[in-house]
Amino acid sequence: MITPQKLGRYAEDLAAKYLVSIGWRVLARNVWNQYGELDIVAADTKEKDLVIVEVRCRTKNNIQDAIDSIDYRKMNALLRASNEYIDSIGWAGFWRIDLIAVTIDEKNSLEDWELQHVKDITR
């Protein structure tokens, strides 16, 4: 059986590859500050936005899917960590938080997966 850490890392790798495939630049991964971790920091080269990307991974037929797994507490932590990061790099442009939800098959074989990209989850 695959450990949750390995599954999470696999989902983050899939998300990073996806972002590159749509023309984005991955600027940083697994950025930590006093408020928590930011999975991926990327540049949306089309819209010229800085994007904090939260990656969530779930198994098919899980009670709660990856998209619905961000609750009020997680959103607040994401906002605090994102604001801290934005301030620390002196970013003055537009930025947003996107979600990439990865759903893996029930056997965690890593061969059958789906990826969904939801832009600007704070709206």
Q: For residue range 40-56, list pLDDT tens digits in order.
A: 999 999 989 999 999 99
pLDDT at position 6: 86
Sequence-ordered alpha helix ranges (H) in 1-123? 4-21, 72-89
Place of tokens 């998209």: 67
Angle at alpha carbon of residue 28, lines to 110 and 6, rounded to 5°: 25
- Sequence ranges of the domains in the chain: 4-118
Place of tokens 């999470």: 8
Q: Which residue ranges of the chain lie beneath pLDDT 50?
A: none
Residue 122 and residue 74 in contact, taking contact as beta carbons nearer than 8 Å: no
pLDDT at position 107: 65
Tokens read off for 20 = 């590159």
Closest of 119, 77, 78, 82 to residue 98, by C-alpha: 119
Q: Which CATH architecture has domain 4-118?
A: 3-Layer(aba) Sandwich (3.40)
Strand-pairing partners, residue 31, are: 38
Long-range contacts of 30-34 (CB under 8 A, 24+ apart): 31/85, 33/81, 33/84, 33/85, 33/88, 34/84
Tokens read off for 88 = 């620390």
Residue 8 and residue 54 in contact, taking contact as beta carbons nearer than 8 Å: no
pLDDT at position 70: 86
